Amino acid sequence: MDEQTLQSIAAQLRQPHGEDAVHVGVKMNEGNLHINRYTLEALQAQPGNHILEIGMGNGMFVRELFALQNDIRYTGLDASDVMVHEARLHNETFITNGQAEFQEGHVEDLSFQDHLFDKIFSINTIYFWDDLPAALSEIGRVLKPKGQLFIAVRPKYLMENYPFVRYGFNLFSREDLAALLSANRFSVKEVVEKDEPEHLINGEKIVVATLIVRAEKE
């Protein structure tokens, strides 16, 4: 695969755009099925929780969160206008019922009031946060006291096998993530790493795992 193609893949994963954006969203759902389900289970959403997802893509997994706990409020934020549009289409019923909303925006500049959310989670997006301290400061601002943050990624030792990650990806080991959160006013409560079924890519089986760090606002 040539370098231009690798750069294009990296750019689409960062922010799906253009005529390929909808297809990219579908492919991300396929590849991220298990990491999404593991993270939604780890959230342990409670009745009355207001939950923010940073980087929800096309929102296809929102229904699975509501299936686990229906008595919540959900807000989805994504930097891609195409993904926000798709998420709204896929979740019209939840929007109409006042249970969900979707906004375009960036993690470093959240347009929410202070102390609004009980829980915030993000799956496979921290790789693209350009200013990590600013992003975590904003997350801390909009979390309630003792609110929880869940960051889910592919571990660094696996991500390093993908050639496109050299174009704009920040990679994290479990130690990296724990240290980052601890240095930015979060108390790490749990680190979980779970194997996933192998992915079949271009006829080759790829080992995949989910890494989830759960932290509490100090």
* Other Cβ atoms within 10 Å of 175 Cβ, number: 10
Q: Which helix (H) or strand (E) holds 33?
A: helix 33-43
Q: Which of 209, 189, 154 is nearest to 44 (CA)?
A: 189
**Overall average pLDDT of the 79-99 stretch:** 96
pLDDT per residue as tens digits for the range 144-181: 999 999 999 999 999 998 889 999 999 999 999 999 99
CB-side neighbour CA atoms (13 Å) of 31: 18
Separation between Cα atoms, residue 9 and residue 132, nearest integer Å:
22
Domains, the chain, in order of start with CATH, read 3-217 (3.40.50.150)
pLDDT per residue as tens digits for the range 194-215: 999 877 665 677 889 999 999 9
pLDDT of residue 211: 98
Separation between Cα atoms, residue 86 and residue 203, nearest integer Å:
30
